[in-house]
Amino acid sequence: MRVVLLFLLVFCSSSIFAASALTVFDHLGQKHEFSREQLLSLPQKEITTSLPWVEGERVYSGVTLLAVLETINVPISPKVIFVALNDYKVAVPQDDFFDYQPIIAIKQNGKFMSVREKGPYWLIYPISSNPDINNADFYAKMIWQIRDIHL
């Protein structure tokens, strides 16, 4: 019984650790991994917005994709593919990152987001301050539980 409990403890802790890493694949297929701590060391940005999936306005904090790409010195591609933990994928046009500056949210109301709370990373657009993007097309781009980003 102790062996089973120990195995479960090790398995669960490694799964939690793996879930907190964000992987970026560049144009050449090269893999760049970022821990949550590395992402927190980059310039942080906050977006206060209401979203269809949560009640009321919330404050999301995290990093812009451009700040992440600057650290690995790679340009942004015309379409950026985000992949969730469940392999759901969404393509986001390059223009969105310049026009709306969505963030890869790490925290919601100052607290880290668990997988259950759509974390560890969630692409958040400033919906409340941009009524023109408060629609289903932009909701579909706000992928949560982000695991990988492909340029």
**Is residue 13 pLDDT above 80, yes or no?**
no
Whole-prediction pTM: 0.87
- pLDDT category at 2 given cuts 50, 70, 90 is low
Residues 6+ apart with CB under 8 A from 149: 22, 23, 24, 25, 65, 68, 80, 81, 82, 83
**Is residue 3 pLDDT above 60, yes or no?**
no
- pLDDT category at 20 given cuts 50, 70, 90 is confident
Residues 6+ apart with CB under 8 A from 125: 47, 49, 96, 100, 102, 133, 138, 141, 142
**Is residue 55 pLDDT above 80, yes or no?**
yes
What is the tens place of the pLDDT at every residue in 85-134? Answer: 999 999 999 999 999 999 999 999 999 999 999 999 999 999 999 999 99
Name the residue with tokens 């992440």: 68
